[in-house]
Structures are given as structure tokens and as C-alpha cells.
């Protein structure tokens, strides 16, 4: 039904008023609802403080509030836009708010309805329209919509806004906990721990701290406020779907707790909490460094099969590596990450680098193999399964060693030798190889005819050292005097391409025993021969002392048995003494056998045959003494109880008496042997020194004769050229050296004469005469004067001076030297034949052959021989003698070498054996030769070498 035009303005105004009223009612509804929602927020926070809502509950609460706000806003919007109250209600509302209206608005609405009712009469409808028009004309319609507004809406709005303001003020003033509650609801699943009286803070690891994959980390948590009794750490893996796990934390007593996480293989969120999880810390992300780290490495070296060496595995620290050529080298590199691929780069400096792959062996290990052929530089690189490259690229130097040829030497004989016919000696070959010997061969020929090969083959591949000893029996192979024996050896190693080594040739010339002795006599003297006898008697003396100790021990046991016959230690000590006595008797038997077989059938000096007879007699006495002591021991043991009973005093006394009797016999035998053997040796050694001094003066005379004859070539030359001056300077040096030797010989003659004066007065007197003649004639001065002329290249003066010195020396030798040798021969004969009843035989001639000259210890000259200068021998220095003789430095040789001024060689360390027997490969097979460095004798002698060098520098033509 269309509204009546007369009522249209009124209805329009009422509609406007209804809209205003609906909007105000919607605003009022929204304000009241928001006030309730604001009041609900503290309630939810307090509930969360009390009950520690979980994230979903807090999310539900937050979403509920947001949805409630949205719902209320939608409801208010609907009310404001789509909900209109009835016209009649609005009319009554407006009339109630403006009494001046009365009931006009209601009446207008009723009359309008009557005017529009079709069932009414036209008159009624007409009258109604007129009434509506009349009533509407009296209304102020523009003021009616304002009456529909809600009174106090502004005040209500202020009240509603005050609640959020109060809530904001409480939030700002409430501190951390209130703000934390807001965050818990605004970010329900964020890292916002609930309210607690205990505050937990993760100190380690730090923010953004990362650890290596597979490494460990220590987590530290500090508790503030109320201290908990225990804490736990929950680790929640970030990447994988692995379940979180919790670990108890250990308290440290200072409010901190700690726990160690091992083998961390993925990032994880860490949260510290109490057992009931009422207190939580903020979460801390423990991230990982995924770059592969090269960890422990090992290397396995497998040498070539021909070496026979086993593989060996070593810890590899990427240091220098050495391997034999052909060795298989296997590297095993570990990492903290699961490995994918890798490589080994070998740079040899020649050509392009060679790359070897590293294959995946285990999850975190990679293996690479190379064959050692060239030295170079190794570089290692790794990549993990995710394609991450290791930052470090370790390097190592690889050094390839080569299999060297064998080392081979003929140990015996050490050099070319003169060997006595009929001798048997072991040819000793020593061979070594760095990785193994395959065979060793010895070649022997006699006068160019080779004997069957002596071959040693090695079955084991790792035979690195071998000694071949071949007993060469000269009689068996038919070698006689004058024959030449040639020796050499060959060794082959186990290398696939065999390497051979061959020794130098050894030449052995077979000589007679007489020739051997004559050669020895040139290099030795009585003092050196005496050493072996002194050593024998020294060992005899040791047995005497051992017998004395047993005797003293038994005497102490006897005293102990008298004090306590039942002492437990008596049986043990008595048994030990009995064992010591038995061992001593056995050693005495061995010493007796050695004495009986001492020396050679054809010794160096004839008088040694007499000494050997004395030793044979003493050997028989030693055997008899040992046998007698054994019988006395048996008698003493039969007089007492048998073990394990304690020995009685009678038994101990019987053993002590037997020990005492044997000690007395041994002492007497030792004294007798010293008198029969050592005393004549000592006397003969002193005499031999005198004989050698006379011989030495004779040789110096011959040397001076040569200088005189040679200098004559430059006597009458009017002008000397450079070669002449050089020749004279050389003769001058020899002449000056002869002057020094004359001084030394003079002092030595005096010392030898003093030492031998009591035993050999005639020879000593001749030695003094010779020394006095050297000094009175001023021979050393004459020699230096001639040397000075030679060094000054004064040929006209040098020859007369050298000739004059020779004449003086020749005259002196005729007067005193030959007389001294004759006196020495007479003294030798008297000392041996008349005094001791010994046959000297040809000993004097033999002693005259010696060229082992010793000078005084302060001669300023070193040489070969025990303690001084040794003249040139008839033997080549590269040839040794093989015949079985031995020499030792003993007290006699040392006293002669030192002459009481200083200890001779060997005085501190005991006698030193010098044996030319080839079966003693570890000893020097040359005849006894010693070297000392005596002190200087005068200022002139000390500076002569310097003066000579300075003179040569000035006179040498450039």
C-alpha cells in the first residue's frame, strides 16, 4: 500500500529517527560488549598465571577474544544498518522524550492507517487525511530525529575507553611478567615462558653460537629467584621428526646447572625447565656448522711382496711420509660429517698432477690407495653427502726410497795379508741389505785356480744380515810357501731386478813361520810380548783373591756357627761358599790348561821357550792344588750332617782349612811364577829399550848420511833455481826433524840407562856414553844449523854442515854404539844363562830386529807404536800378518812408555789385546801399534813449525 502523501513527511522523519535510534543502540551495545571483553583479558591472564595454559589453549583464548570482538562488531553493524524498530515504538519514544508532542505522532500514525484502510468509508478516510494534515502542520519535523539519540552515549564511550587505558597502564607498570603474559597470548606458540617465581636463563650456548657437526657442547643454565632442587634440559630437534629428549642437569652450587650434549648431529631447540615444567627458560637454538672437518687419519703401508715385510698401520698426522718404491699406501681419512667423495692429489713436479679418488668406506670414513713410485706432495680434499667442501686441505710430503744394493765386506782378513803356512783361519764375510739378501758367495783361488764356490742361499725374504765363515785350511787346500791366495765375495739382494755387490780382492801370501817371526820382530819388542804373560798372571792373581774371599767367608761362618749353631742362614751361606769353591776349582783347571798350551812352538823370541816351560810346571801345580782341594772338601763334608740340616762347626772348619791351604799354595805359585816369568821379562824389556836406542842411533846416522850425500848436489851450484830451493827446503825439514829426534834419543838413552843401570850396568854405561856424546858434540845444534842453511837455500854451506854432522855421528857410533850393543849382548847372556839358568838362544839377534822405537813422553812427536814414534817397517802398511801371535799392553809396556812421568796407554783401562789371529774378528789384526801425543819439550820446538811455514811463505816464488 502506498503511503498517503499527506503522511509522507511524518513517516520520513520517523524513519530517520528510527535509524538514529538503531545506530545509537548498536554503539551502546558495542561499548558494553567491549567493556566485558576488556575485563575478560585480565581474567585470562590470571588464569594462565595460575594454570599455565598450553599454547593451543592460549591460542583458543586469543582467537575467542578476537572472534568475540568481530562478532560484536558484526552484530553492532547489523543492528545499525539492518535493524529498525517499529514506527509506533519510535513515535512513543519521541513523544516520551518531548512532552510537547503529546500523542500527536501516535495519532498521526493511527489516522494514517485509518485513511489507508480500504474497508473504511470514504468520508472516514477523508476526515482522517484532513486530521493527519492538520496535525502534521503543527509539528517541527526537523527536530524529531535528534530526539531518537541515546542519552549518555558519550559518557558510556568514555567509560569503555577507560578500561583499555587502565589495562594498558597496568601492562606498562606491571613489568616483565605482565608483558610476558601479553606475549604468551599474542604469540601463543612463541618463546614466552609462563610466570614463575624462578627465572631460568640459558648462559651457554650463546645466541647464534654454532657447534661442529658431531661435536659436543656444554649447556649452562642460571636459576634466579627461588632456587630449584633439580633442573632438566629438553632438546627438541629442529629438522628431523625425532622426538625431543630430556636430560637432567648437574648443579654447580653457584646457582648454575650444566649438562653435556654428545654427538650433536642436527640443530635443536634447547629449553631448561623444572621437573613439572612449571618453570621454563627461553628457548635457545643450537645450530650446527655443516662444513666437513678432517678428523683422525690412518695410513697403511704394504711393502712389495719381495721384501717379506708385513703391512703396518700408523696414525697419520699429515707429516712427511717415507715409503719404499712399489709400496701400496692406503689412506683412511675420518670426518665429523657423512662423507660423499674426495680425492688425493699427487704433485711430483714433473708433468701434470695425478689425482687418486677417495672412496666412501663407512659413513664418516673415506679410503684412498696409491702406489709409491715418485716422490712428491700429497693434497687431500673431502666433500660430504650434502656437497659441502672441507675448508682445510691438508698436505704431506711423500718421499720414495729405493732399494739399495747390498753392503758387503770381508771382515777377516781385514786387508791383504801375509799368512803362515799350515794355518787354519775363518774367512769371514759380513753382508747386509736394507730389504733382504738372496744369496752370498765366496770365491777363493790359489795361484789363479779357483776352488769350488762357497754359496749361501736364503729362503726367507727378509734376511737382512748374514755372516759367512769359511774355515780356510791352508794344509787342506795345498797352499805352501810362496803361493798367492785371492779372496772376494758377492752378494745379491731380493729385488725383482736383482742388485749385486762385490768386495775388493784380498790377497794372501803364504810365508814360513820364520819369516812371520822376523816380520813381527820388526814391529814388536819384549815389552809388547810381555803383555800376554802379564795378563795371564793377572788372571792367576784374580783366582788367588777369589780363594782369599772364600776363606774369609768360611771364617765368618765359623764364628756365626759358634754364636748360634742353629741359625737359619748358615746352611744357605755355607752352600754358597761350597758352590763358589767348586767354581773356583773349575776356573783353576781352565787356567792350568791355558798355561800348559800357552804360546807357540816357534815363539817370537827364543827365551820364551824357557818361560813356557815354567808355565807348564805351574799348570801342573794348579791341577794338583785343585784336585787336593776337592779331596779336602769331600773329607770336610763327610764329617758333618747332610742337608737340609745345618752344617756343624767341624764341617765349616774343615772347609776353611782346605780353603786356607789352597790359598797358600796359590800365593806361593803366583809368587814363583812372577819371579820365573815376569821378572826376566821386565829386565829384558829394559835391556831391549837400550838395544833399540843403539839401533835407532845407527839408523839416524844412516839417514844423516843420505842427507849429506843428497845435499852435495847443490854445494857447487853458483845459482839455485826454484826447483833447487824447493829441494833444499824439503831436505831442511828432514834435517830439522832429525835434530829433534837426536834430542829425543838423548833423553831416552838417559832414562833407559837409569832404569836398567842396576841389572845391566855395562849396557847402561854405554847408553850414557852415547847420550853424553850426542850432547857434548852438540849434534842437535849441528843438525839445526844445517837445516837452517838448507831452508835458506845456501847449498854451499848446507853440505859441509850435514857432512860434518854425519862424520860426528858415525864416529860416535863406532865408539859407543857398537860397544853398547856388545855390552847388551853380554848382559842378556848373563841375565838369562848365568843368573836364571835360561838358554838365550838367538834372542839377541831377534831383539836387534825391532824397529818399534819409543821416544820420551815429552818429545813433541807422535808416531806409531806404544807411546811414541815408530820407524818405517819392512812391511807395507796395507798388509797385515796372520799367524796367531798376540800382544797386550801391560804394566811393563806402560811403565816403559811413561817412564814414570805419565801413565802409558792402557794404564786406566787395563791391558788391551792385539791379536793377529783371524779367528778374533772383532780385534784389530795388525801387530801392536799405539799412538800417543806427548807434550812439547821447549819453546823452540813448539814454534819451529810456525817459523818454517813463515819462511816458506816468504821464499816461495809466486
Query: Do 398 and 323 form a contact (C-beta atoms < 8 A)?
Result: yes
More confident residue, 310 or 890: 310
Q: Which three cell numbers stand for residue 397?
A: 710430503
| pLDDT at position 895 | 81
In this predicted structure, which of 49-58, 216-225, 779-788 has the lowest mean pLDDT? 49-58
Residue 306 per-residue DSSP state? G
**pLDDT class of 683 with cuts at 50, 70, 90:** confident
Burial of 501 (0-12, 13-18, 19+ CB in 10 A): middle
Cα–Cα dist 941/40, whole Å = 124
Task: Say whether pLDDT at 459 is over 60.
Answer: yes
**244: closest CA among 207, 201, 277, 202?**
277
**Residue that wins the pLDDT comparison between 939 and 47:** 47
Helix (H) or strand (E) segment spanning residue 865: none
Residue-wise DSSP of 43-74: HHHHHHHHH---HHHHHHHHHHHHHHHHHHHH
Contact yes or no for 705/806 (Cβ under 8 A): yes
The residue ranking higher by pLDDT, 545 or 51, is: 545
In the predicted model, is pLDDT for residue 958 greater than 50?
A: no
Nearest to 261 by CA among 217, 203, 321: 217
What pLDDT, on a 0 to 100 scale, did the predictor assign at position 116?
67
Residue 734 pLDDT exceeds 90: yes
The three-state secondary structure class of 894 is: helix
Query: Is the confidence at residue 110, as pLDDT, over 80?
Result: no
Q: Is the pLDDT of residue 196 over 60?
A: yes
What is the rounded CA–CA span in Å between residue 427 and residue 411? Answer: 8
Whether the predicted pLDDT of 429 surpasses 60: yes
Question: Exposed, middle or buried: residue 153 (CB in 10 Å: 0-12, 13-18, 19+)?
Answer: middle
Residue 368 grid cell: 684412498
Burial letters 280-316, b for 16+ CB under 10 A, else e? bbebbebebeeebbbeebebbbbbbebbebeeeeeeb
Environment class of 341 (CB within 10 Å of its CB; exposed 0-12, middle 13-18, buried 19+):
middle
Of the listed ranges 125-134, 159-168, 354-363, the least confidently predicted one is 125-134
**Does residue 902 have a pLDDT over 50?**
no
Q: In what order do the strands lie in the sheet with 294-302?
A: 312-316, 294-302, 328-335, 365-371, 359-362
Question: How confident is the model over 802-829, as pLDDT tens digits?
Answer: 999 999 998 988 888 777 778 777 777 7
pLDDT confidence of residue 127: 66
Cell of 611: 818361560
Burial 58-70 (b: 16+ CB within 10 A, else e): beebbeebeeeee
As a whole-number percent, the residues of the chain with pLDDT over 90 amount to 32
Residue 949 has pLDDT above 70, yes or no: no
Collapsing DSSP to helix, strand or coil, 561 comes out as: helix
Strand order in the sheet with 465-473: 407-412, 424-432, 465-473
Confidence of residue 491 (pLDDT cuts 50, 70, 90): very high
- The mean pLDDT value for 945-957 works out to 43
What pLDDT does residue 370 have? Answer: 93
Q: What would the mean pLDDT of 683-689 be, rounded to a whole number? A: 87
Using one digit for the tens of pLDDT, what is the confidence trace for 140-154? 667 777 777 777 778
- Number of Cβ within 10 Å of residue 677's Cβ equals 23
User: Which ranges of 98-208 does DSSP label H, i.e. alpha helix?
Assistant: 104-116, 122-137, 153-173, 176-186
Q: Can you give the length of the chain in residues?
A: 958
The strand pairing partners of 415, in sequence order, are none
Residue 865: the pLDDT is 32
Q: Distances from the Cα of 701 to the Cαs of 72, 521, 540, 802, in angstroms?
A: 147, 22, 45, 11
Q: How confident is the model at residue 867 (pLDDT cuts 50, 70, 90)?
A: very low
Determine the Cα–Cα distance for residues 878 and 391; give it in Å rounded to an integer: 66
Reference 817, options 707, 693, 702; nearest CA is: 693
C-beta separation of 423 from 417 below 8 A? no
| Per-chain mean pLDDT for the chain | 82
The b-or-e profile of 163-200 (16+ CB within 10 A means b, else e) is beeebeeebeeeeeebebbeebbeebeeebbbbbebbb
2/224 Cα distance (integer angstroms): 80
pLDDT of 609 strictly over 60: yes
d(CA 900, CA 646): 54
CA-to-CA distance for 146 and 23, rounded, in angstroms? 12
Task: Tell me what pLDDT residue 129 has.
Answer: 67
Residues of 533-549 as b/e, b for ≥16 C-beta within 10 angstroms? bbbbbeebeebbebbee
Check if the beta carbon of residue 888 is closer than 8 Å to that of residue 524.
no
pLDDT at position 469 = 92
* Distance from C-alpha of 900 to C-alpha of 45, rounded to nearest angstrom: 115
Q: Please write the tens of the pLDDT for every residue from 635-652.
A: 888 877 766 677 888 888
Sequence-distant (6+) residues with CB within 8 A of 301 are 311, 312, 313, 314, 323, 327, 328, 329
pLDDT of residue 133: 67
Percentage of residues in the chain with pLDDT exceeding 70? Answer: 87
Residue found under cell 768386495: 503
The pLDDT-based confidence of 861 (bands split at 50, 70, 90) is very low
Q: Averaged over 363-379, what is the pLDDT?
A: 90
C-alpha cell at 650: 767341624
Residue-level pLDDT at 568: 72
Query: In this predicted structure, which of 229-233, 288-292, 548-552, 849-853 has the lowest mean pLDDT?
Result: 849-853
- Given a cut of 90, whether residue 705 has pLDDT beyond it is yes
Residues 903-914, mean pLDDT to the nearest whole number? 40
**Cβ contact 8:133 at 8 Å:** no
The model's confidence at residue 924, banded by pLDDT at 50, 70 and 90, is very low
Task: Please state which of the ranges 317-321, 354-358, 673-677, 918-922 shows the lowest mean pLDDT.
Answer: 918-922
Rounded Cα–Cα distance for residues 604 and 846 (Å): 8
- Going by C-alpha positions, the residue among 913, 937, 931 that lies closest to residue 867 is 931
pLDDT score of 751 more than 80: yes
Q: What is the DSSP letter of 193?
A: P
Task: Give 597-627 as a 3 state SS string.
Answer: CCCCCCCCCCCHHHHHHHHHHHHHHHHHHHH
What is the pLDDT averaged over residues 779-786?
93
**Cell numbers describing residue 588:** 783353576
**912 close to 920: Cβ distance less than 8 angstroms:** no
Q: Which cell numbers in the block locate residue 82? A: 539492518
pLDDT tens across 295-316, in order? 889 999 999 999 888 999 999 9
Say what the pLDDT of residue 115 is.
66
Task: Look at residues 955, 822, 927, 63 and name the one whose alpha carbon lies nearest to residue 517.
Answer: 927
Q: Does residue 927 surpass a pLDDT of 50?
A: no
The pLDDT score that the predictor gives to residue 360 is 78
**Higher pLDDT among residues 288 and 954, named by residue:** 288
**Single pTM value for the model:** 0.62
pLDDT the model gives residue 311: 93
Amino acid at each position: 500500500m502506498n503511503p498517503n502523501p499527506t503522511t509522507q513527511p511524518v513517516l520520513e522523519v520517523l524513519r530517520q529517527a528510527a535509524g538514529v535510534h538503531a545506530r545509537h543502540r548498536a554503539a551502546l551495545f558495542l561499548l558494553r560488549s567491549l567493556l566485558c571483553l576488556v575485563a575478560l583479558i585480565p581474567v585470562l591472564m590470571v588464569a594462565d598465571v595460575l594454570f599455565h595454559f598450553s599454547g593451543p589453549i592460549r591460542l583458543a583464548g586469543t582467537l575467542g577474544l578476537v572472534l568475540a570482538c568481530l562478532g560484536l562488531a558484526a552484530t553492532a553493524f547489523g543492528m545499525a544498518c539492518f535493524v529498525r524498530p517499529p514506527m509506533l515504538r519510535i513515535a512513543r519514544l519521541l513523544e516520551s522524550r518531548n512532552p510537547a508532542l503529546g500523542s500527536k505522532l501516535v495519532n498521526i500514525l493511527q489516522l494514517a492507517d485509518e485513511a489507508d484502510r480500504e474497508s473504511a468509508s470514504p468520508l472516514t478516510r477523508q476526515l482522517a487525511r484532513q486530521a493527519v494534515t492538520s496535525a502534521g502542520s503543527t509539528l517541527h519535523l526537523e527536530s524529531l530525529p535528534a530526539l531518537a539519540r541515546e542519552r549518555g552515549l558519550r559518557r558510556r564511550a568514555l567509560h569503555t575507553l577507560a578500561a583499555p587505558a587502565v589495562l594498558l597502564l597496568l601492562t606498562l607498570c606491571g613489568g616483565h611478567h605482565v608483558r610476558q603474559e601479553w606475549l604468551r597470548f599474542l604469540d601463543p606458540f612463541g618463546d614466552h615462558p609462563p610466570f614463575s617465581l624462578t627465572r631460568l636463563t640459558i648462559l651457554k650456548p650463546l645466541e647464534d653460537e654454532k657447534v661442529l657437526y658431531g661435536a659436543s657442547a656444554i649447556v649452562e643454565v642460571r636459576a634466579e629467584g627461588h632456587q630449584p632442587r633439580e633442573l632438566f634440559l629438553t632438546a627438541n630437534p629442529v629438522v628431523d621428526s625425532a622426538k625431543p629428549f630430556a636430560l637432567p642437569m648437574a648443579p654447580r652450587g653457584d646457582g648454575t646447572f650444566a649438562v653435556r650434549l654428545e654427538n650433536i648431529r642436527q640443530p635443536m631447540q634447547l629449553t631448561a625447565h623444572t621437573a613439572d615444567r612449571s618453570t621454563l627458560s627461553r628457548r635457545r637454538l643450537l645450530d650446527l656448522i655443516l662444513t666437513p672437518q678432517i678428523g683422525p687419519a690412518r695410513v697403511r703401508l704394504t711393502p712389495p711382496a719381495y721384501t717379506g715385510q708385513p703391512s703396518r698401520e700408523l696414525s697419520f698426522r699429515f707429516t712427511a711420509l717415507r715409503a719404499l718404491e712399489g709400496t701400496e699406501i692406503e689412506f683412511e681419512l675420518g670426518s665429523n660429517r657423512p662423507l660423499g667423495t674426495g680425492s688425493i692429489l699427487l704433485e711430483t713436479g714433473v708433468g701434470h698432477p695425478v689425482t687418486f679418488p677417495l672412496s666412501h668406506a663407512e659413513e664418516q670414513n673415506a679410503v684412498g690407495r696409491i702406489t709409491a713410485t715418485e716422490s712428491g706432495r700429497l693434497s687431500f680434499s673431502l666433500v660430504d653427502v650434502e656437497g659441502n667442501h672441507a675448508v682445510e686441505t691438508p698436505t704431506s710430503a711423500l718421499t720414495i726410497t729405493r732399494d739399495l744394493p747390498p753392503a758387503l765386506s770381508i771382515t777377516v782378513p781385514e786387508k791383504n795379508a801375509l799368512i803362515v803356512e799350515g794355518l787354519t783361519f775363518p774367512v769371514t764375510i759380513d753382508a747386509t741389505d736394507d730389504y733382504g739378501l738372496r744369496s752370498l758367495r765366496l770365491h777363493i783361488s790359489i795361484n789363479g785356480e779357483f776352488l769350488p764356490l762357497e754359496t749361501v742361499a736364503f729362503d726367507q725374504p727378509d734376511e737382512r744380515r748374514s755372516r759367512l765363515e769359511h774355515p780356510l785350511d791352508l794344509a787342506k787346500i795345498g797352499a805352501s810357501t810362496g803361493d798367492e791366495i785371492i779372496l772376494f765375495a758377492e752378494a745379491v739382494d731380493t729385488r725383482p731386478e736383482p742388485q749385486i755387490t762385490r768386495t775388493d780382492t784380498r790377497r794372501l801370501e803364504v810365508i814360513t813361520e820364520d819369516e812371520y817371526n822376523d816380520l813381527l820382530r820388526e814391529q814388536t819388542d819384549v815389552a809388547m810380548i810381555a803383555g800376554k804373560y802379564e795378563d795371564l798372571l793377572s788372571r792367576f792373581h784374580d783366582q788367588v783373591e777369589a780363594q782369599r774371599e772364600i776363606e774369609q767367608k768360611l771364617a765368618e761362618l765359623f764364628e756365626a756357627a759358634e754364636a748360634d749353631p742353629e741359625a737359619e742362614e748358615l746352611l744357605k751361606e755355607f752352600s754358597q761358599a761350597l758352590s763358589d769353591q767348586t767354581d773356583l776349582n773349575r776356573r783353576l783347571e781352565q787356567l792350568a790348561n791355558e798355561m800348559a798350551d800357552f804360546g807357540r812352538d816357534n815363539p817370537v823370541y827364543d827365551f820364551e821357550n824357557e818361560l813356557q816351560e815354567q808355565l807348564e810346571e805351574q799348570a801342573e801345580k794348579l791341577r794338583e792344588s785343585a784336585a787336593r782341594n776337592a779331596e779336602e772338601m769331600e773329607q770336610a763334608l763327610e764329617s758333618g750332617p747332610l742337608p737340609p740340616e745345618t752344617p756343624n762347626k767341624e764341617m765349616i772348619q774343615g772347609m776353611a782349612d782346605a780353603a786356607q791351604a789352597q790359598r797358600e799354595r796359590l800365593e806361593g805359585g803366583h809368587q814363583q811364577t812372577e819371579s820365573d816369568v815376569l821378572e826376566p821379562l821386565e829386565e829384558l824389556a829394559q835391556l831391549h829399550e837400550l838395544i833399540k836406542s843403539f839401533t835407532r842411533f845407527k839408523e839416524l846416522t844412516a839417514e844423516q848420511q843420505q842427507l849429506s850425500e843428497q845435499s852435495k848436489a847443490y854445494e857447487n851450484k853458483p845459482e839455485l833455481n826454484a826447483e833447487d830451493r824447493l829441494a833444499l827446503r824439503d831436505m831442511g825439514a828432514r834435517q830439522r826433524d832429525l835434530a829433534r829426534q837426536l834430542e829425543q834419543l838423548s833423553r831416552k838413552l838417559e832414562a833407559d840407562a837409569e832404569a836398567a843401570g842396576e841389572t845391566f850396568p855395562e849396557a847402561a854405561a854405554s847408553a850414557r856414553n852415547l847420550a853424553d856424546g850426542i850432547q857434548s858434540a852438540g849434534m842437535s845444534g849441528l843438525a839445526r844449523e844445517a837445516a837452517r842453511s838448507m831452508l835458506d837455500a845456501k847449498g854451499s854451506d848446507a853440505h859441509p854442515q850435514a857432512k860434518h854432522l854425519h862424520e860426528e855421528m858415525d864416529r860416535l857410533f863406532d865408539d859407543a854404539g857398537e860397544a853398547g850393543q856388545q855390552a847388551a849382548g853380554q848382559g842378556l847372556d848373563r841375565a838369562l844363562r848365568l843368573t836364571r839358568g835360561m838358554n838365550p838362544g838367538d834372542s839377541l839377534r831377534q831383539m836387534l830386529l825391532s824397529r818399534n822405537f819409543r821416544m820420551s813422553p815429552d818429545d813433541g812427536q807422535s808416531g806409531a807404536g806404544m807411546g811414541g814414534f815408530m820407524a818405517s817397517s819392512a812391511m807395507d802398511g796395507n798388509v797385515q800378518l796372520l799367524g796367531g801371535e798376540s800382544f797386550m799392553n801391560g804394566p811393563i809396556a806402560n811403565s816403559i812408555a811413561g817412564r814414570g812421568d805419565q801413565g802409558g796407554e792402557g794404564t786406566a783401562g787395563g791391558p788391551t789385546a792385539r791379536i793377529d789371529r783371524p779367528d778374533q774378528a772383532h780385534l784389530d789384526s795388525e801387530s801392536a801399534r799405539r799412538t800417543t801425543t806427548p807434550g812439547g819439550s821447549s819453546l823452540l820446538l813448539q814454534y819451529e813449525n810456525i817459523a818454517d811455514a813463515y819462511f816458506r811463505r816468504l821464499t816461495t816464488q809466486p
